[in-house]
A and B are shown apart, each in its own frame.
Chain A
Amino acid sequence: MRAPLELRDAVAVIRETRNPRDIVVPSMGSAREWMALGPTHELDLVLVPSAMGHATSFGLGLALAQPERRVIVLSGDGSLLMNLGTLVTIGSQAPPNLVVIVFVNGVYEVTGAQVTPAAAGRLAGAGSIDFRGIAKACGIRSVYGWSTLDEWRSGIEEALTACGPTVVILHVPVVPGAVGPRSPGPTSERAQRFMRALQRHEGA
């Protein structure tokens, strides 16, 4: 049996592969793991605190404002379910430089791993929610899905360089005892720092 794709390992692959020009927007559990793996890049917008589900919206805005730069959003299935219409908006705007990576674990991890409605339905026998199918039906141009580390390592380059918008569905197990991410600092200062970094990187 193949080993499952752990959230931290999946996030580590993104850290190794991202281009220094990329904007990365981690949120919720992925933000916790992103920060645990080392210092952040000046073009990382760690979206903590956030309105749950809105990292994709921030990412869409950034992608539209910075069309020459790739924007990678890290989200969860609970977050995506809270703002599912965002897939329609992203499909409609169709920014080729936006990549949304969704970690699917079936729970609201940071509030104590309560099951999402999608997982609750599956447990009750209603069948699985097909996030890849939803993304495709919303007009997302490139859609991928993996559930092992080897697959993710093999596929990430293609996913990040595909003509977007791109959605990547990664199935991961729940992190036992996981807590929410801590804010890495005052938001106002981080926002200003991020904007200055973007100006410095202009044309780079």
Chain B
Amino acid sequence: MFSGQQIASLFLELGVTHVVTVPDSTVGEWGDVMETTPGLAVVRVCREGEAWGIAGGLYLGGSTPVVLIQCTGLFESGDALRNVAHDWHLPILSVIGYRSYLNQMALPGDTCLTFTEPVLDAWRLEFRLITDVSQLPEVRSFLRECRQAARPGVVLIAEGRA
């Protein structure tokens, strides 16, 4: 999928200031590039629920955070994102790795494919599923639209391995 440099450049273009993250095998590879990118600060958290509260505080404080986690972390962080996105109406952007979407034999019996999209629907989070590197412009336009409209938005990145 995308390189760390592509995502870091995109974040800078969108005015992102902080990336609040728990890594996985795909999105985690971007972390080192982001950490060395001037203008981007990386906040590594212990559990994904933390990420939403920290992003909420960053946003209220005038920064522009993105939450970068895997779909398993989405499942873990439901109450926190509910509070931030729906109680407080904070338009937090997120990029979420979709475990094994491109290689469904990687984890036989894994239920990430069963639950990820319904969970996003249940939390009423608008998302775009990205399955190919050619869709980078779609990522850019979707995140830009969400930012301009001050609404939360999720880019769901199909991953090819567990």
Contact = CB atoms under 8 A, between A and B. Distances in A.
A62 B60 contact: yes
Interface in B13-56: 18, 20, 41, 43-47, 49-50, 52-56
A146 interface: no
A20 interface: no
B79 interface: yes
Interface stretch (B3-11, B82-90, B104-112): B82-90
A65 B61 CA distance: 5
Contacts of B80: 51, 54, 57
B54 to A, nearest CB: 4
A174 interface: no
A63 B58 CA distance: 8
B60 A51 contact: no
A57 B62 contact: no
Contacts of A54: 49-50, 52-53, 80, 83
Interface residues of A, number: 32
A108 interface: no
B141 interface: no
B34 to A, nearest CB: 15
B59 interface: yes
B63 interface: yes
- Top 8 nearest A-B pairs by Cβ distance? A61-B57, A65-B61, A57-B53, A85-B46, A54-B53, A61-B58, A58-B57, A51-B83
A92 interface: yes
Given A58-B60, A198-B61, A187 B54 contact: no
B62 A198 contact: yes
Interface of B: 18, 20, 41, 43-47, 49-50, 52-63, 65, 79-80, 82-84, 87-90
A89 B57 CA distance: 14
Contact of B44 (A49, A55, A62, A89): A89
B60 to A, nearest CB: 6
7 contacts: A50-B83, A51-B82, A52-B79, A57-B56, A57-B80, A65-B62, A83-B53
Contacts of A191: 60, 88-90
Contacts of B79: 51-52
Contacts of A55: 53
A60 interface: yes
Contacts of B57: 57-65
Contacts of A187: 87-89
A57 B54 CA distance: 5
Contacts of A65: 18, 57-63
A2 B53 CA distance: 38
B61 A89 contact: no
A105 B79 CA distance: 24
Contact of B54 (A45, A58, A195, A199): A58
A64 B43 contact: yes
